[in-house]
Structures are given as C-alpha cells and as structure tokens.
Amino acid sequence: MARCGQVFRAFLSAGRVRAIEQMPSEDAEQLAGAPHNRSGGLFGHRWGWTRCKIGFHGGKVVVRRPRVRSLDGRELALPTWTSVQVEDWLGR
C-alpha cells in the first residue's frame, strides 16, 4: 500500500507541474498570440522556450516556460511565472 501512496503523490506532483507550465503558456498567448500565429501578437512575439527551476517540496523541479519578446526586442515578463517564483506554490 505504501507504493500506491508514492505513485499517487508522484501523479499529483506531475499534475501540479503541468498546471504551472500551462499558466505561463496562457500569458504568452495573451501577449504574443497563439503558437505559430503569423499575424503577430498584441505586445510581442514568441521567442522559444526555456527550462527553469522552481521550489518543490523542499527541493527544485525543472519546468518548461515560454519566452516572449516585445516588439522592440526586450524580454517580457510573464505575470504568472513571476508569481510562481515569488509564491513558491509547489513548496506548500
């Protein structure tokens, strides 16, 4: 039964990580439009992906987040990603 509990906790943790990855993707869509959108974004354009670490149960986990650049080439902050870093949601 202990093994089942470990698997269940791992499943929930993976779900949280996917949810954390989804939120910055939604921010990127608001700033730059849908992926592969050729009509341009409102405030910028997509600039690939990067891997970042965030706190998770006293350790660190790697998550993938999109990058968005402004129309003049500056990196744009993704609001939910900034919140994730400050709040340490997965650490709670």
Q: How far apart are CA 20 and CA 44, in angstroms?
A: 22
Structure confidence by residue, pLDDT tens digits, 27-75: 999 998 888 877 666 788 889 999 988 877 677 778 899 999 998 999 9
Would you place residue 5 in the very low, low, confident or very high pLDDT band (cuts 50, 70, 90)? low
Amino acid in position 62? V
Cα distances (Å, whole numbers) of residue 68 to 23, 47, 65: 14, 5, 10
3-state secondary structure 6-69: HHHHHHHHHHHHHHHHHHHHHHHHHHHCCCCCCCCCCCEEEEEEEEEEEEECCEEEEEEEEEEE
For the chain, what is the domain count?
1
Q: Which domain holds residue 69?
A: 2-91
